[in-house]
Amino acid sequence: MKCVLTIAGSDSSGGAGIQADLKTMTCLGVFGMSAVTALTAQNTTGVRDVLEATPEFVGEQLDCVFEDIRPQAVKIGMVSSAPIIRAIGAKLRQYEAENIVVDPVMVATSGSALMQGSALTALMEELFPLAAVITPNIPEAERLCGFAIETGEDMLRAAETIGKTLPGAVLVKGGHRTDCADDLLWQKGQASWFRAPRVDNPNNHGSGCTLSSAIASFLALGEDLPGAVEKAKAYITAAMEARLDLGRGSGPLWHNYAIPEGGQVGGKGDRT
Ligand SMILES: Nc1ncnc2c1ncn2[C@@H]1O[C@H](COP(=O)(O)OP(=O)(O)O)[C@@H](O)[C@H]1O
Ligand SMILES: Cc1ncc(COP(=O)(O)OP(=O)(O)O)c(N)n1
């Protein structure tokens, strides 16, 4: 069994954060584990409140995981403060964690800040150097490269600018474009496009969390980075095409789209 750890925040509505990560990992056939950095009170309409874990408690969760069940990949999502980021960086270095995917979550699509302004420098200094790949969306990539991104050419320039500062790769996600949903991987000076038509579905809450967890899962399963991104992209496109429609705002994806209605065991129709 391959094991994957998510270090992220909890989303009470189940569409993003730890909950999206564990659903993704389960659906992709790996054993998911978690270290919770913060509790959020949120739903499909937005984030109402955030309660951070202490850096010490985040560190304790990481000790418990690494001392017992070593993950073959790690996904990092919402890490809201510099002390939490530094605690995570120290533990990941101590345990020589591998296949680290960093989703630099800054602001939820609903507009709520999920990272303190002062934490970005810590994220860049402590966690980016450990990452096999970082996965900014367009607003996050704009913050990292310092210019506006509108076209594929802009994405290429941004990936190159950000990629030059990293030992690992960068995947600039195209979910915030209006003409397509193409993502761009920049690895060792080479660009590869992962193209997909835009799915006409306003319910995309947790799409970045889902994609980064899927990449980590496929890395744990032995794919190389381009292979992991290709398979993760196919998974998220299908989860979006399944068109789940829950909640009053931007609803969650249907992570379980490949599981038959009623579930695999004990579900509807089991006793007929
Ligand atoms: N409407 C859409 N149709 C197809 N793919 C999408 C759509 N919206 C987002 N995606 C994909 O979902 C993934 C997450 O991207 P994005 O929404 O940009 O991230 P975030 O949730 O961090 O803002 C990317 O692979 C992106 O291309
Ligand atoms: C707890 C928590 N973590 C991350 C997010 C952001 O999710 P993401 O998939 O990056 O994007 P949106 O859902 O905001 O489109 C979150 N909302 N909550």
Question: Going by CA atoms, what residue is nearest to atom 11 of ligand 1?
Answer: 175
Query: Could you give the C-alpha distances from 71 to 9, 131, 133, 214, in angstroms and in order?
Result: 19, 15, 17, 14
Q: How far is the CA of 232 from the centre of ligand 1 (A)?
A: 11
Among the atoms of ligand 2, which is closest to the Cα of residue 204?
15
Rounded distance between C-alpha atoms, residue 30 and residue 24, angstroms: 9
For domain 3-12+19-241, the CATH superfamily is Ribokinase (3.40.1190.20)
Among the atoms of ligand 1, which is closest to the Cα of residue 109?
23
* Residues in the ligand 2 pocket, defined by CB under 6 Å: 8-9, 11, 16-17, 40, 77-78, 105, 108-109, 114, 204-209
11 φ/ψ sector (left φ>0, alpha ψ -120 to 50, else beta): beta
Question: Going by CA atoms, what residue is nearest to atom 6 of ligand 2?
Answer: 108
Q: Please tell me the predicted confidence (pLDDT) of residue 272.
A: 47
Ligand 2 mutation pick, 42, 209, 211, 250, max ligand atoms within 8 A of CB: 209
Q: How far is the CA of 21 from the centre of ligand 1 (A)?
A: 15
Q: How far is the CA of 168 from the centre of ligand 1 (A)?
A: 22
pLDDT tens for the chain, residues 1 to 272: 999 999 999 999 999 999 999 999 999 999 999 999 999 999 999 999 999 999 999 999 999 999 999 999 999 999 999 999 999 999 999 999 999 999 999 988 888 889 988 899 999 999 999 999 999 999 999 999 999 999 999 999 999 999 999 999 999 999 999 999 999 999 999 999 999 999 999 999 999 999 999 999 999 999 999 999 999 999 999 999 999 999 999 999 999 999 988 887 765 555 54
Task: Fill in the amino acid letter for 34.
Answer: S
233 in ligand 1 pocket by Cβ < 6 Å?
Answer: yes
Asked if residues 192 and 178 have their Cβ atoms less than 8 Å apart, the reply is no
Among the atoms of ligand 2, which is closest to the Cα of residue 40?
1
Confirm whether the ipTM is greater than 0.95: yes
